[in-house]
Structure 1
Amino acid sequence: MTAIAVLGNGRVGGSLAAALREAGHEVTVAGREPGAAADAARTARIVINATPGDGSLDRLAALREELRDKILVDVSNATVDGPDGLPAELIHPGSSLAEQLQEALPATYVVKTLNTMLFPVMTAPASLTTAPDAFLSGDDPQAKQTVRDLLVDLGWRQEWITDLGGIETARATEAAILFVPHVIRSSGFVPFAISIAR
């Protein structure tokens, strides 16, 4: 059992928290309020950022001390929405939210994952007819192994998890969010994930 704080109590945070509790972890959920987020992060070993990506950097940078020596699992994408409310542009072109977080939080182990799919797939990967991929980006191998174990607890098979390398590889997975609005307009809000055919 691991003490986990999920920052963000929307659809993404709520579904992750419920699945991790079901897997036997001790989970605290906090909204975007600074005090609640700080309290939750302070007592956790792992913190999951499920807050909207456009405000994540400022929100989490303010928790620098609370996040010291913790693993920060970033599942958000930092985008500017178009008129229809769907992602239209990246906020950090040429970089990534994950890289910006690692720079702002040098004593925290940032791992990017689960950001290349619609949120229902995060906790039910086997529900898709084709095996999905979950990608890991991060500079610390031990932190990535811990996150890999969490993914397994969420129903991900080992062969569905791909370690892409350092935190800079999050640029590629974060850019994949630009597929999402086109897929939704084409097929509707049906669960899907980016997958590598092998």
Structure 2
Amino acid sequence: MNIAVLGTGVVGQALADRLSGLGHQVFMGTRNVADSLAKTEADRMGNPPIGTWLKEHPKVQLVTFKEAVDKGGKLIVFAMNGQVAKECLHAVGEQLLNGKILIDISNPLDFSKGFPPTLFVSNTESLSEQIQNQYPTLKVVKTLNTMSNPVMVNPKLIEGDHSVFVSGNDTAAKAKVTDLLKSFGWEERNILDLGDITTARGTEMILPLWLRLYSKFQTPFFNFSIKRAQL
């Protein structure tokens, strides 16, 4: 299957690597291909620049946002900072987004006042809802935004059962995304469909807690596990 991954950072790289390894043709989208390839410095976490990463992943093609969505079939993974979501999708254009599935793994984090960040959308709306409302024919599915990228693509990094949440208005789109999650190694019993896209408010607002747990543990290798009493 052809898949577009929008974003060249560590999250985009993790998703593109996993999808490519599963046999999908991945088109990685960026604002400007030449500018992205010109970067030579590792990021603040020590991850390689995208040009170096692409040499190690020759099956992944780096193209513009618009080209990635055009070539990427029916499935788009948005793997960028939530603050640039609308700018990125505007660059793609409504016509190309029409009828496609957007897996939104971003969060509305505002680092303008330092760490820990605040949420620039919360309580009465979510970033995913804003995207869905702006592009009503796009099938937005929120998932994977409540964990670090290594856990997203390899849940077995954490022993035992732990949870991934799914939100979206379109039942068929959520089923398609659920199948993809299963291919990553997520067990069906741990994939929790919360309901329509408004439920993304809850998962986006988990991030302040996640960030404080990260500060406490000094590792990203943890996740939330939802347990229910057997009454």
Distance in 2 of aligned mates of 1:178 and 1:171: 13
- Following superposition, the deviation at residue 92 of structure 1 comes to 1.1
- Following superposition, the deviation at residue 148 of structure 1 comes to 0.4
Q: Does the 8 A contact of 2:27 with 2:71 survive in 1?
A: no
Total equivalences in the alignment: 196
- Following superposition, the deviation at residue 132 of structure 1 comes to 1.7
Instruction: Tell me the SS of whatever aligns to 1:65.
Output: helix
Code of the aligned partner of 1:23: L
Q: Does the 8 A contact of 1:116 with 1:174 survive in 2?
A: yes
Deviation by residue 1:99-121 (Cα, 9 ceiling, x = unmatched): 00001111110000000111110
Code of the aligned partner of 2:17: A
Deviation by residue 1:28-73 (Cα, 9 ceiling, x = unmatched): 1112449700010012210000011111123213422221111000
Q: Does the 8 A contact of 1:32 with 1:51 survive in 2?
A: no
- Following superposition, the deviation at residue 84 of structure 1 comes to 4.7
1:117 equivalenced with 2:143 (yes/no): no
Distance in 2 of aligned mates of 1:82 and 1:180: 19
Q: Does the 8 A contact of 1:61 with 1:105 survive in 2?
A: no
Structure 2 counterpart of 1:27 = 26
Code of the aligned partner of 2:184: L
Q: Which moved more, 1:169-178 or 1:75-84?
A: 75-84
Instruction: Tell me the SS of whatever aligns to 2:136.
Output: coil
Structure 2 counterpart of 1:54 = 83
Distance in 1 of aligned mates of 2:138 and 2:112: 32
**Structure 1 segments of 4+ aligned residues over 3 angstroms from their partners:** 32-35, 82-86
Structure 2 counterpart of 1:89 = 118
1:181–1:83 CA distance, 2 compared to 1 (3 A): farther
Distance in 2 of aligned mates of 1:159 and 1:114: 15
Code of the aligned partner of 2:97: L
Q: What is the 5 A alignment of 1:68-107?
A: 68-81=98-111, 84-86=114-116, 88-93=117-122, 94-107=124-137
Structure 2 counterpart of 1:3 = 2
Structure 1 counterpart of 2:39 = none
Q: Does the 8 A contact of 1:113 with 1:137 survive in 2?
A: yes
Identity of aligned residues (%): 37
Q: Does the 8 A contact of 2:65 with 2:91 survive in 1?
A: no
- Following superposition, the deviation at residue 180 of structure 1 comes to 2.0
- Following superposition, the deviation at residue 83 of structure 1 comes to 5.0
Which segments of 5 or more consecutive residues in structure 2 lack a partner in the other structure?
A: 34-62
Distance in 1 of aligned mates of 2:172 and 2:121: 27
2:71 to 14, 21, 43: 43
Code of the aligned partner of 1:124: N
1:168 equivalenced with 2:198 (yes/no): yes
TM-score by length of 1: 0.93
Q: Which moved more, 1:124-133 or 1:57-66?
A: 57-66
Q: Does the 8 A contact of 1:74 with 1:112 survive in 2?
A: yes
Structure 1 counterpart of 2:43 = none
Distance in 2 of aligned mates of 1:193 and 1:32: 32
